[in-house]
């Protein structure tokens, strides 16, 4: 019984290893706005130089808010910083090393819409 379970686990691991991964540029300190193209490729627009992922996320958030005030309707945005994708979503800011991998929470939105490190806000 355990031998068949081990074989199934190894087969699943092999499938995951073969999965296509879309990896962003790893240019040091460069923050990108990522735009999906109609042909399925991604266009990386250089936004600014930033010292860390949090500052890049803040720059992307500022860009998203500017677009909304100009009449835009896109409430979600994708960016990239040093080999990681950044996903600006309603719930907060998520990051992942590829488009296909699990997204990890990087920053949460506070009650007034600001961004904060998870656990930094006092619990009531």
For 36-72, write each residue's pLDDT tens digit: 999 989 999 999 999 999 999 999 999 988 888 888 7
Average of pLDDT values for 19-38? Answer: 91
Q: Please check whether residue 86 is in contact with residue 56, taking contact to mean a CB–CB distance below 8 angstroms.
A: yes
Q: Is residue 5 part of a domain?
A: no
* Number of domains comprising the chain: 1
- Number of helical H runs and strand E runs in the chain: 2, 7
Q: Averaged over 71-78, what is the pLDDT? A: 82
| Any domain includes 18 | no
Position 124 in a domain:
no
User: Using the 8-state DSSP alphabet, how is residue 37 labeled?
Assistant: -
Q: What count of residues does the chain have?
A: 124
Q: Which residue has the higher pLDDT, 95 or 20?
A: 95
Give the mean model confidence (pLDDT) for residues 108-113. 81
Domain residues for the domain of 84 are 23-116
**Residue 3 domain flag:** no
Distance between the two ends of the chain, CA-based, in angstroms?
49
C-alpha closest to that of 96 among 80, 109, 115:
80
Model pLDDT, residue 2: 61
The rounded radius of gyration (Å) of the Cα atoms in the chain is 18
Evaluate if residue 110 carries a pLDDT over 90.
Answer: no
């Amino acid at each position: 019984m355990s031998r068949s379970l081990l074989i199934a686990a190894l087969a699943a691991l092999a499938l995951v290893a073969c999965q296509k991964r879309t990896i962003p540029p790893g240019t040091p300190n460069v923050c990108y706005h990522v735009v999906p193209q109609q042909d399925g490729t991604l266009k990386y627009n250089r936004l600014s130089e930033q010292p860390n992922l949090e500052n890049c996320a803040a720059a992307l958030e500022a860009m998203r808010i500017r677009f909304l005030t100009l009449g835009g309707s896109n409430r979600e945005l994708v960016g990239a910083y040093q080999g990681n994708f950044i996903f600006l979503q309603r719930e907060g800011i998520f990051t992942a090393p590829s488009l296909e991998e699990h997204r990890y929470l990087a920053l949460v939105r506070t009650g007034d819409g600001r961004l904060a490190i998870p656990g930094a806000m006092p619990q009531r």
